[in-house]
Structures are given as C-alpha cells and as structure tokens.
Amino acid sequence: MINIIPAIDLIDGKCVRLTKGDYSQKKQYDASPLDMAMRYEDVGIRRLHLVDLDGAKSSSPKNLHVLEQIATRTSLDIEWGGGIKSDEALRDAFNAGAGHLIIGSVAVSQPELFARWLSEHGGERLILGADVNEGRVAINGWLEESEQTIEMLIDRFVPHGLKEVICTDITKDGMLQGPTFDLYARLQAEYPEQDIIVSGGISSMDDIYRLDEMGLRHVIVGKAIYEGRITLEELGKL
C-alpha cells in the first residue's frame, strides 16, 4: 500500500494551509502542530511532512522550535523543508530532529551545493523538493519561477545519489480537486529507481487508492485531513 505522509505547514508556529502557494490565501487551524503530530502517530503514521513557510519566504528556518518539540515528543520520522539554504541551516535542522531535509531552491540556484550535500549526507536523508507551476520549477517559497523543469533537476542529481523527489503541482495545491495523476505516473515510470512523492490536490481516499493502483509509493496529504475529507480513522486503517 502507498505510504501516506500527513503534512503540517507552519507560519508563526501554527498550522496553516495556503491555496496555490499564495501567502495571502492563508487558512489557520486551531490544532497545534504537536497535537496534530501526536494524533497522526496514534493512528499508526510513521512519517511526517513538516514545512516552515516562514523559513521558505525568508531563506532561513524560523520554526525549528516546533520541529524540536515534535521530534522530542514523538517517534515520527520527520521530513523538514523551508529555508535550508546554507550549511548552518542544514546542520541546525538535523540537530533539531529532522530525519530528512527537503531541498528546493538551493537545488535550482546552487546545484553544486546540493550535489555536495547529497555526497556528504546521502540520498537517504536529503530529498529534492520540486514545486512545479505549469511545467516550470518555482523557488523561494513559490514566489519566483525558474527556467528549469523537474526532469532537468532530477537528471542533474541522480548521479549524486538522489533517491527521493517531492513533486508539488502548485496549481493543484490546496484546491482539493485531485492531483495531476498523469504527471506523477509519467515521472515514476521515467525514474523507476527514485521515489516520486505526490504532493498537491489530494481530495479523498479515492485519490490515494488510484495513485496506489498506478504504482506511486508515497503521497503527502494536508488540507484534505484538516477539512475532514480524509479522517484519522481512515488513515489508521491503512
């Protein structure tokens, strides 16, 4: 069965969700990040997707205290993203308890640095985060669009040990209209040795079952859980 990775997005230490990556379309939720993480662990979730939106926007981590709190109070394997653009930020995030780090903007703007990090820390701990908007990769908290495609990025880093890629379709993110199924099927077929992690648009368990049937191995789910489209009980049955 496909591995479900619940998402917690952070602004000012609180759980939020954006629509299409737009910081002006922010919805804040009452549950604390730690409470949500503990609920996920209680139903059998093993891996958590934790994103520092403040860090992504400001180019350095801003919510590491939340990461440290969740890492200390749960046994979840945490993949952390947002603002990892220097050796210091990378070290601080690992020290705060991240099991994996998601590297996005640096992979586009400083590919030599990401290649070095991959060689030093391995593809088991570093994940390429590619946020795609109409075929092009967006960077810096989705505020800038690059000239690179996701295929160009993956091809650049496979020789350096890349094993996991989170691909987020920004046009689908937070819309609850289903993911871009053909995009993920094509990428997974093209890169069978890498795990293509689906992100953006999941609206129901039916979306997840369809991705599983298509051979995808991991899917990130966020807003559908907060909005009650997918329940914790359903997650616990998988």
Residues that are catalytic: 9, 131
Start-to-end Cα distance in the chain: 8
Q: Is the dihedral of CA 135, 176, 23, 54 positive or negative?
A: negative
The neighbouring-strand residues paired with 131 are 138, 168
* Contact criterion met (CB below 8 Å) for 41 and 233: no
Find the DSSP H helices in the chain.
33-42, 53-58, 64-73, 87-95, 105-109, 111-121, 150-157, 181-190, 205-213, 223-226, 232-236
**At 21, phi and psi to the nearest 5?**
70, 15
- CA 160, CA 112: separation in Å to the nearest integer? 10
